[in-house]
Structure 1
């Protein structure tokens, strides 16, 4: 790793030495800003052309994300034109440039006659690279058509999604997921399942924020993923319709509509999906006595049949109170009904591998999820550009009800009723101080209340009735209120930018176990400083350095001490005494652009205390779950149970290196690649067992998009996750490949696409786990290979966006750090 660091630093220094900085004394600066005359929003990618008086082009530029431009020209007299697709061109003739010249704010008007006729030839790349984050544009990825938010995230650079749907950023699962810059009911009570319910068509882009400023909440030691939902901005009525069919059974449709007038903008996104997602797993476990001798073997095979009906709808109205103030109201409703059948076949062998007994355990589960969320946003822009006040209010309620029947040697029933109520109040005030400085402060109150009622009923053969098994049943009330204040100050000095901030968060956590009348309360206040520095050597080369202190609060399912019941030998349970994890993170980034190639890299380091890891213990139990002190290994009614639960280990150091590249060798071929190498060193001990580990892993993703004859687009995505090893487990490497083909029809109003997810059916987690008296070799595949056919029809809408937008409901970035 030391040699790798030296090589990377050498490359950075070499690039810096070669930076092209113009120092010609006869050049002067021509500046200005381009905005939409109607919305007053900055126009990014507007073109500025500088010509001689006989209209020969001398030079030009495009505007940045703030609509601003800066051009070096020789002293003289010029004709200057400002152009933007679907807008009327504005011309400045006979402009004398004898020194630094500012053209001021230039307003462009929409060209209504050409708005519906324009065809955009140049596409924005699938991945936009900014100094402090990467932005993934969902509309350009064919492999997620007809998919879900989980599929979208699994294609984002720096992000990986394992076979169970757990999302990781740079190999770290503690990533905060926001929607439109705020926590949302779209993530739900169970984030993994909720992401599989949100359709990919509802998502416009995903922002990967690895060095968040003080504006963002401190939750998420790995960083933040911000999912930005679609909200049309074009005038008039427009929209799109989508239909999907696939194998295994996958049928659905969605509609995205937008209607905009001079005073209001109405938008909605609604979708329905039926899906059958078969999966499978197996575990072969060897049991040892205290002397290390083999006691017996147990082999388990499990199949999953999952049927789910999902409905999502979101409706909103943005009303323009004045030309500088607007209020936006949004209503979200999500409903899901699932029928899952898990069949577990177990064979028990003695130490000589003679079959002793065969078991069959079938769990039939029905689950109903329902979420309703209301949000209100008020934005007031003041006279000076960038001076604004943003107020947000959000209230959501989620309900999950499930019941399961387990057919086994001893039948069992369990029922889960969960209800979550969340309220968010948030305010952000931004005050520009001159042209190149900015002050900001804000507050946030995030109030959460969760009730979980878990009932397990065992069967009494003597009475032929089910009874409440108090060994497993429990009721939990979880309240967590978070109050935050933050302030930050940023300034740009020539090519150097800095943003300094501090955030204070107070957490008030109350847990009440009603079954035992136990109460566990914790309240703590912490400060989280942030530092972001940027140095732009020129328009194509820059360096960033970020520092942030962050935390990981245990989620309710990590705290709830109930036990999972799908398997009687592998059990997961929570830990009521978990404390937060605190992390100090450092990130050094380097960006370089060439004509057809872009390279973005980062070196990062994180030091965590109170790190949360899964610990594994085992104990002997009978069929009803009672602990046995003197077990008989040859007795089929005596079962050795492996229990996994989260604990706070002492510390962990994570460091790594990543890069992303974008290369367009030809007009018909585009390549994107991302690579992430990371290492984690854990130092801790639990129950006199060392959890020290030194784990090295990596993953890479390659995306190739080719335009074939007949204007057929072909996209291939390959992903490989390298092997890893922890204190009590190790995991093999995993390869998966996705294919997609797309063709425009009906004069580009329609698009038909075919995609194959996990082409070789290799997306399986293969792992080995250890304890002092067990060794388990397992394999898990959540979803088998899937084939989807997708059709999209657009009306009053072009395939490619004519008017790129930079604003959305909440969650902005610091503009001075945009590249």
Structure 2
């Protein structure tokens, strides 16, 4: 019956007002938190009981665990309740003037502990005005896995075979760690997320309609990963070790020491893995028309080969170390200073073997070549962060100041050898490539929150990010097969890229009865600069300029509305304007060298893309067993990025046409979609989770006089079931399917993935053994066919093969089944106005 108390209190309050029309009211406020953890308890109930044991009035706490209730002067028993917690009472309270009652600590009710277990092990969804929060419970398939793997289990999110993260099928998504851009998420790439353990995640916030407090970056929206930071007093933590086949091993430790004045937290991990992968390309070439430079007349050129196939094998050895060490010092009861250092090292070796067959006709083999690239990559990243929070009072009036410095240094060395093995063995000149990348990024931010009255809130702030990346690329080519290497000055160069963003924002939110709104405006100035130390001479007619200096100022309005139809039912409507800036690998002009005939090259001439998005959502809960979330969304993006393949008009030394993949700006990209998610717990031992996303893209635009307009309708769905068996054994199965999709050139087949996991608790529930199989059917492969006027290209790519993994976790001074994931922002930004 407690879940109906808030509605009852509303009725009682109106009745009380009617009975006391001339009585002057007083205000009683306070805070309710969980004993031992200091986690605020949202939706806890407060009741004022008179001498006749009748509830006079009452209310519920907000997200910060605070309440403020008007009551007539008198003597009351004040009762505090929360589901599954022991009730507390303050008796004989003489309340005659505005007062703040002492902080109330509620502890778990042992008789309700089983009920808490069910809740903690279930993925929950909380809806805010500007985001959905997924409190990921005991996800067995993520045991011993990485953050990247865990994201693939979050509704609306997909991770493709190369690790690219998409939100609702759109890769233009911003990844934040604890609300801020971070070296943990990688500098313009998500490679680091493949190394960090999934056990480090506390919750994931999917923000499809970001408020003005967030960066405007990412046209699809924002995925905010909140890392764990234990709130329990004393020393506590956990250790996890895992071993997998193909070789994947690691050890992770989470340790936390908390006292009344400070909190020290550390997550450290070591990983060692050997991840095999493979790819296959089948290119078929047709006659093409070119312009004779002497006469100016068109002529037809037949290809040297009708067909070329490539079979690639990737052998990746990954070793890495990462640590995140921080200390939070509580200056006063309302202010704190947090300093943290994150560091990551990587020593990776990759051997790519490329077997190429060239055919004069479709089945007449002319040449067989073997190209081997041995790549060594040394990487070191570190990040230093300072966070200051000053809460002026318990009503949400606060100032937050952040400073962050990041550095990422990466040295990549590749040695490429090639030889023809048919019809005779002939060695080709080798290549020695060195790429040194150094990136520095500074972040400074300040956010101010001012509550106005009981329900309104004003916010304002500033954020500046200043980023410079220097890439020193050197190509040494062997003179014949003499062993003497000569620098290729036409390709070797130093490329410097600067991205500076200054932003100001303000927003205002209020609540009127069941209706809440949050209106915001953000202004961002972006400066993008690229410079090559010397202009590269080229005869390529499709070459793009390498030096640029661009400056953009944009306004980004946001509107978020929510209407509470009932206590467990609401409708949300959001609008926002976003920007997508080209990342480093999209603008780096140096082509890949793993293949002579199939290359990827960045485009320094890329401009930012802008998008306006609308989102209409609905949420309904039926008790604690069934939750339904749905959304209808639309996005209109201009200058949208699109990766295309084109014939460069150049050929290799063997006469094979060179096919280039390059990102370009298209004119518009309209996206329509619908998504639905269901959380269903029909029985105490059975928990089901499923989601479905259907979308349509309509693209319009041309490049080099070729029309790349297209329509693409696709969908993806996921399903997960978890069964609690006897003897404390849990069994989880998850499945994911992404339907076929296409753009103007390429049609990609659907992908089906199934994962399986088992776990057993031992040692009085302080330890857990888990076994899981990732990609049970070994079907996580990207298969596609690209068709143009001069060639067709069929390809299949598998980044990582089926994985078997065994893990062991030991916890000390931790309550395994009570990870609530709510309350406390863990250092994340943008909690903002909740309504």
Same fold (TM over 0.5): yes
**Is 1:461 equivalent to 2:480 in the alignment?**
yes
SS in structure 2 at match of 1:790 = strand
Compare 462-471 and 767-776 and name the one that shifted more.
462-471
Contact 1:677 1:698 in 2 (8 A): yes
1:163 alignment partner in structure 2: 161
The count of aligned residue pairs is 782
Q: Once the 2 structures are TM-superposed, how far is the Cα of residue 54 of structure 1 from its aligned partner?
A: 11
Name which of 764, 788, 800 aligns with 1:747. Answer: 764
Name which of 550, 561, 577 aligns with 2:589. Answer: 561
Contact 2:78 2:89 in 1 (8 A): yes
SS in structure 2 at match of 1:152 = helix
Name which of 119, 133, 136 aligns with 2:134. Answer: 136
2:710 alignment partner in structure 1: 693
SS in structure 1 at match of 2:593 = coil
**Is 1:233 equivalent to 2:262 in the alignment?**
no
1:185 alignment partner in structure 2: 183
Q: Once the 2 structures are TM-superposed, how far is the Cα of residue 196 of structure 1 from its aligned partner?
A: 0.7
Name which of 281, 284, 294 aligns with 2:282. Answer: 284
**Is 1:619 equivalent to 2:648 in the alignment?**
yes
Compute the RMSD of aligned alpha carbons.
Answer: 3.3
Name which of 453, 460, 479 aligns with 2:498. Answer: 479
- Sort the Cα spacing of 1:57 and 1:763 in 2 relative to 1 into closer, same or farther, 3 A: farther
- Sort the Cα spacing of 1:60 and 1:435 in 2 relative to 1 into closer, same or farther, 3 A: closer
**Is 1:350 equivalent to 2:348 in the alignment?**
no
1:361 alignment partner in structure 2: 371
**Is 1:494 equivalent to 2:490 in the alignment?**
no
Post-superposition CA distance 1:664-722 (Å, at most 9, x none): 11111111111111111001111121111010011001111111122211111100000
- Sort the Cα spacing of 1:815 and 1:511 in 2 relative to 1 into closer, same or farther, 3 A: closer
1:646 alignment partner in structure 2: 663
Name which of 108, 116, 130 aligns with 2:104. Answer: 108
SS in structure 2 at match of 1:807 = coil
Q: Once the 2 structures are TM-superposed, how far is the Cα of residue 560 of structure 1 from its aligned partner?
A: 1.6
Post-superposition CA distance 1:597-651 (Å, at most 9, x none): 1111111111011111112211354546xxxxxxxxxxxx112110111111111
Q: Once the 2 structures are TM-superposed, how far is the Cα of residue 50 of structure 1 from its aligned partner?
A: 8.9
**Is 1:582 equivalent to 2:610 in the alignment?**
yes
Contact 1:378 1:392 in 2 (8 A): yes
Name which of 782, 801, 819 aligns with 1:765. Answer: 782
**Is 1:412 equivalent to 2:431 in the alignment?**
yes
Post-superposition CA distance 1:46-87 (Å, at most 9, x none): 4668999999999999755232579999xx999663246998
Contact 2:258 2:264 in 1 (8 A): yes
Mapped to 1, the partners of 2:595 and 2:60 lie a distance apart of 60
Contact 1:85 1:803 in 2 (8 A): no
SS in structure 1 at match of 2:148 = helix
Mapped to 1, the partners of 2:155 and 2:736 lie a distance apart of 11
Name which of 713, 720, 726 aligns with 1:703. Answer: 720
Which residues in structure 2 correspond to 1:216-615 (within 5 Å)? 216-290=214-288, 296-408=306-418, 409-461=428-480, 463-516=482-535, 519-595=547-623, 596-615=625-644
Compare 45-54 and 166-175 and name the one that shifted more.
45-54
Runs (5+) with no aligned partner, structure 2: 1-6, 18-26, 289-299, 419-427, 537-545
- Sort the Cα spacing of 1:71 and 1:376 in 2 relative to 1 into closer, same or farther, 3 A: closer
Contact 2:265 2:327 in 1 (8 A): yes
- Sort the Cα spacing of 1:801 and 1:23 in 2 relative to 1 into closer, same or farther, 3 A: closer
Q: Once the 2 structures are TM-superposed, how far is the Cα of residue 202 of structure 1 from its aligned partner?
A: 1.6
Compare 84-93 and 575-584 and name the one that shifted more.
84-93
Runs (5+) with no aligned partner, structure 1: 1-18, 625-636
Q: Once the 2 structures are TM-superposed, how far is the Cα of residue 760 of structure 1 from its aligned partner?
A: 0.5
Contact 2:412 2:434 in 1 (8 A): yes
Mapped to 1, the partners of 2:804 and 2:37 lie a distance apart of 42
Contact 1:588 1:604 in 2 (8 A): yes
Mapped to 2, the partners of 1:384 and 1:799 lie a distance apart of 30
Post-superposition CA distance 1:552-582 (Å, at most 9, x none): 0111221121101111111111111111000
1:800 alignment partner in structure 2: 817
SS in structure 1 at match of 2:42 = coil
Mapped to 1, the partners of 2:46 and 2:760 lie a distance apart of 34
2:23 alignment partner in structure 1: none
Contact 2:31 2:65 in 1 (8 A): yes
Which residues in structure 2 correspond to 1:37-116 (within 5 Å)? 42-44=40-42, 46=44, 63-67=61-65, 81-83=79-81, 89-93=87-91, 107-109=103-105
- Sort the Cα spacing of 1:489 and 1:363 in 2 relative to 1 into closer, same or farther, 3 A: same
Mapped to 2, the partners of 1:242 and 1:204 lie a distance apart of 16
- Sort the Cα spacing of 1:318 and 1:735 in 2 relative to 1 into closer, same or farther, 3 A: same
SS in structure 2 at match of 1:191 = coil
Contact 2:209 2:221 in 1 (8 A): yes
SS in structure 2 at match of 1:121 = helix
Contact 1:534 1:817 in 2 (8 A): no
Mapped to 2, the partners of 1:56 and 1:226 lie a distance apart of 45
SS in structure 2 at match of 1:194 = helix
Mapped to 1, the partners of 2:44 and 2:595 lie a distance apart of 60
SS in structure 2 at match of 1:817 = coil
Q: Once the 2 structures are TM-superposed, how far is the Cα of residue 204 of structure 1 from its aligned partner?
A: 1.3
Mapped to 2, the partners of 1:381 and 1:83 lie a distance apart of 26
Mapped to 1, the partners of 2:16 and 2:579 lie a distance apart of 48
Compare 703-712 and 164-173 and name the one that shifted more.
703-712
1:174 alignment partner in structure 2: 172
Contact 2:16 2:56 in 1 (8 A): no
Mapped to 2, the partners of 1:736 and 1:405 lie a distance apart of 35
**Is 1:35 equivalent to 2:54 in the alignment?**
no
Post-superposition CA distance 1:484-509 (Å, at most 9, x none): 10011111111111111111111122
Mapped to 1, the partners of 2:754 and 2:75 lie a distance apart of 57
SS in structure 2 at match of 1:447 = strand
Post-superposition CA distance 1:277-315 (Å, at most 9, x none): 111111111111138988511111111110110101011
TM-score by length of 1: 0.89
TM-score by length of 2: 0.88
- Sort the Cα spacing of 1:349 and 1:327 in 2 relative to 1 into closer, same or farther, 3 A: same
Contact 1:487 1:502 in 2 (8 A): yes
Q: Once the 2 structures are TM-superposed, how far is the Cα of residue 742 of structure 1 from its aligned partner?
A: 1.1
Compare 506-515 and 127-136 and name the one that shifted more.
127-136
Mapped to 1, the partners of 2:457 and 2:738 lie a distance apart of 42
- Sort the Cα spacing of 1:785 and 1:606 in 2 relative to 1 into closer, same or farther, 3 A: same
Post-superposition CA distance 1:360-401 (Å, at most 9, x none): 111111101100110000000003510000000001111011
SS in structure 2 at match of 1:219 = coil
- Sort the Cα spacing of 1:816 and 1:62 in 2 relative to 1 into closer, same or farther, 3 A: same
